[in-house]
């Protein structure tokens, strides 16, 4: 879990600090991105809490559990320039909860979890070096957050004692700005320096006048516990994040000390499927009962109205990019339907398709020429529709005895492949009238995933163990078996890159490995997905058809973006 982020003030560098105490520096220059774009990493034995660049960006301050504050020179981060430890009369294990750096860099203020309400102030003695200067103790409960005003003349602090205090940075005396009805978790100064924004743990956002100490407005953010908040640099917008595994982000217009026109982003449920548009810079994501389109160039987001009556479980773009089809699961006995959408606007499309089913949809695919659409369902049923009759009358395929978890069409031929829990993969060729079975492969165990090589010469099958089998689909012989050498996990995802000789697979503990798809020699790079103190598995993945960008969604609804190793 990443606990803190900070952008370099002048360079395209992002710093992150994790729950495990890892401080990472990331190169955000689009011309120098790597996978991942990590160019420095600093480890600590304590959990990270807060992070800030000092003015100029050469030095970085990081706070940790057990009252540790470190200052780093980012050009030579082999060891910190200085390390400071909070000295408490009650416990050596009170944590630093947040920190703020004065605009001049003269002071660093660090909030603590000490129940006496202590704030440690450090004063700069030389570049990157500080001395313990003062301990501020007017709060009567742990201090949650601190912030300096843009002119550096005022420090504001918020606490579990429900209060918001202002500190004069010349005399270091405090005055009460105001109170919430419960604990106060976050604080931020407006860039103009005249207003202060605070958040209570119940999600109430208050705006205060610094001069009159009046509460100018109160807004219910409807996000629950606020994770973080910030003003945009021009002061015209506020962003708030929720503190949960299901991340939500709200953007509010800010005008005359009032928050208006909220817009929300994020997923309240896990991402069940994901796909790149075949021709446009658009990604489609299904989350709960909705479909979301995101333009990767503009960031524009379009969300469908709630059409399905259950979790959207599968989707596919038509090869010409005009149509998106989705299918769903449901816990009820309601009829399930496939929905047709305009692939660029997400407007429902009227078609003569009026089929409904008792079974849940597991997979959807179009043939490369767009002439056929196939969908698989629980129980082993596969249906294939023909575009020539406007998707009216499907062909039913019932040869499988258990659910078909994944299906795929050959990239150049009218061949359909179906992978089933009956431990088989079956191949179906179109004879001019219908699809007929031509071959089957027996697997040693249930398949979990299926991927087709872009050349159409082989398939990769993830198994309900730590293994992936590679099959030649001309000779129907097995080419290779890839293993994670960990029998406690199963393969959750397999995928081929569209633009390079790379194959990837993931197990259910979130580890993703890469192989050269010509030799199936393992590549040195791997990726590990984390949340909090646990690993999580990749639930779906897609390679961009236009580049070597690799996108993965995990079980908690987070999306991870990588470039090809």
Please write the tens of the pLDDT for every residue from 115-148. 888 999 999 999 888 999 999 999 999 999 999 9
pLDDT at 391: 83
Cα–Cα distance, 192 to 211 (Å, whole number):
13
Domain count, the chain: 2
Best mean pLDDT range from 113-117, 355-359, 552-556: 113-117
pLDDT bin (cut points 50, 70, 90) of residue 558 is low
Q: For 239, how many CA atoms within 13 A lie in the half-sphere containing its CB?
A: 11
Cα–Cα distance, 196 to 174 (Å, whole number):
16
Average pLDDT, the chain: 82
Last residue of a domain, one of 179, 208, 232: 179
Q: For 33, how many CA atoms within 13 A lie in the half-sphere containing its CB?
A: 12
Last residue of a domain, one of 179, 203, 236: 179
- The answer to the question of residue 493 being in a domain is yes
pLDDT at 437: 96
Long-range interactions of 55-59: CB distance < 8 A, separation 24+ = 55/9, 55/101, 55/103, 55/104, 55/105, 56/9, 56/10, 56/105, 57/8, 57/9, 57/10, 57/11, 57/13, 58/127, 58/128, 59/127, 59/128
Residue 34 clears pLDDT 50, i.e. is over it = no
- The answer to the question of residue 51 being in a domain is yes
pLDDT at 522: 83
- The answer to the question of residue 303 being in a domain is no
- The answer to the question of residue 426 being in a domain is no
> Which structure tokens are listed for 300?
């524009």
Evaluate whether 54 touches 69 at the Cβ level (below 8 Å). no
- The answer to the question of residue 511 being in a domain is yes
Residue 263 clears pLDDT 50, i.e. is over it = yes
Please write the tens of the pLDDT for every residue from 291-313. 888 887 777 888 776 566 677 78
Percent of the chain with pLDDT over 90: 41
Residue 211 clears pLDDT 80, i.e. is over it = yes
Evaluate whether 344 touches 280 at the Cβ level (below 8 Å). yes
Which of 162-166, 273-277, 433-437 has the lowest average pLDDT?
Answer: 273-277
Burial profile 479-514: b = 16 or more Cβ within 10 angstroms, e = fewer: eeebebeeeebbbbbbbbbbeeebbbbbbbbbbbbb
* CA separation, residue 26 to residues 61, 305, 561 (Å): 16, 37, 14
pLDDT at 288: 65
- The answer to the question of residue 7 being in a domain is yes
Residue 505 clears pLDDT 70, i.e. is over it = no
Residue 534 clears pLDDT 50, i.e. is over it = no
Average pLDDT of span 81-102: 72
Please write the tens of the pLDDT for every residue from 434-477. 999 999 999 999 998 899 998 999 999 988 888 899 999 999 99
Please write the tens of the pLDDT for every residue from 42-71. 666 677 788 999 999 999 998 887 778 889
Order of strands across the sheet that contains 271-276: 271-276, 282-287, 290-295, 301-303
Last residue of a domain, one of 160, 179, 198: 179
CATH number of the domain encompassing residue 112: 2.130.10.10
Residue 385 clears pLDDT 80, i.e. is over it = yes
- The answer to the question of residue 474 being in a domain is yes
Average pLDDT of span 327-343: 73
Query: How wide is the angle at C-alpha 507 spanned by C-alphas 439 and 482, nearest 5°?
Result: 55
Can you give the residue range of the structural domain that contains 465? Answer: 445-565
pLDDT at 231: 92
Per DSSP, the residues of 332-374 read: SSSPEE-EEEETTT-PBPP-S---EESSPEEEEEE-TTSSEEE
């Amino acid at each position: 879990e990443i606990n803190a982020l900070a952008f370099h003030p002048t360079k395209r560098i992002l710093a992150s600090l994790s729950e495990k105490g890892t401080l990472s520096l990331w190169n955000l220059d689009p011309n120098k991105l790597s996978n991942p774009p990590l160019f420095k990493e600093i480890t600590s034995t304590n959990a990270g809490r807060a992070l800030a660049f000092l003015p100029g960006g050469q030095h970085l301050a990081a706070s940790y559990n057990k009252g540790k504050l470190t200052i780093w020179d980012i050009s030579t981060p082999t060891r910190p320039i200085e390390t400071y430890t909070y000295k408490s009369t009650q416990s050596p294990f009170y944590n630093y909860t947040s920190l703020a750096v004065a605009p001049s860099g003269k002071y660093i203020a660090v909030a603590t979890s000490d129940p006496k309400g202590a704030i440690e102030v450090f004063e700069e003695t030389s570049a990157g070096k500080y001395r313990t200067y003062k301990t501020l103790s007017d709060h009567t409960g742990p201090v949650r957050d601190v912030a300096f005003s843009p002119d550096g003349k005022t420090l504001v602090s918020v606490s579990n004692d429900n209060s918001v205090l202002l500190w004069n940075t010349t005399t270091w005396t405090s005055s009460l700005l105001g109170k919430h009805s419960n604990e106060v978790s976050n604080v931020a100064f407006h860039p103009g320096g005249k207003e202060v924004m605070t958040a209570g743990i119940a999600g109430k956002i208050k705006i205060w006048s610094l001069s009159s100490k009046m509460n100018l407005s109160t807004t219910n953010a409807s996000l629950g516990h606020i994770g973080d908040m910030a003003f945009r640099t021009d002061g015209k917008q506020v962003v708030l994040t929720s503190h949960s595994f299901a991340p939500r982000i709200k953007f509010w217009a800010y005008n005359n000390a009032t928050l208006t026109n909220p817009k929300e982003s994020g997923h309240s449920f896990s991402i069940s499927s994901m796909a790149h548009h075949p021709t446009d810079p658009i990604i489609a994501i299904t989350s709960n009962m909705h479909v979301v389109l995101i333009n990767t160039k503009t960031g524009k987001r379009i969300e469908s109205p709630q059409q399905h009556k259950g979790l959207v479980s599968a989707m596919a773009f038509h090869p010409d990019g005009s149509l998106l089809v989705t299918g769903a699961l449901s816990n009820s006995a309601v009829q399930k339907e496939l929905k047709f959408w305009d692939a660029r606007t997400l407007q429902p499309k009227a078609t003569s398709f009026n089929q409904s089913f008792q079974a849940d949809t597991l997979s959807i695919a179009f043939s490369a020429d767009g002439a056929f659409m196939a969908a698989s369902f629980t129980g082993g049923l596969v249906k294939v529709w023909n575009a020539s009759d406007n998707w009216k009358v499907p062909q039913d395929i019932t040869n499988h005895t258990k659910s078909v978890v994944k299906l795929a069409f050959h990239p150049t031929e009218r061949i359909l492949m179906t992978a089933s829990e009956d431990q088989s993969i079956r191949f179906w060729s179109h004879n001019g009238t219908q699809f007929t079975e031509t071959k089957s492969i027996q697997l040693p165990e249930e398949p979990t995933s299926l991927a087709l090589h872009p050349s159409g010469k082989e398939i990769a099958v993830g198994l309900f163990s730590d293994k992936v089998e590679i099959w030649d689909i001309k000779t129907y012989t097995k080419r290779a078996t890839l293993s994670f050498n960990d029998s406690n996990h199963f393969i959750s995802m397999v995928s081929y890159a569209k633009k390079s000789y790379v194959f990837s697979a993931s197990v259910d503990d979130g580890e993703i490995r890469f192989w050269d798809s010509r030799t199936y020699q393992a590549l040195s790079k791997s990726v590990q997905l984390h949340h909090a103190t646990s690993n999580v598995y990749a639930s779906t993945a897609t390679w961009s058809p236009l580049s070597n960008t690799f996108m993965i969604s995990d079980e908690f609804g987070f999306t991870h973006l990588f470039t090809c190793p």
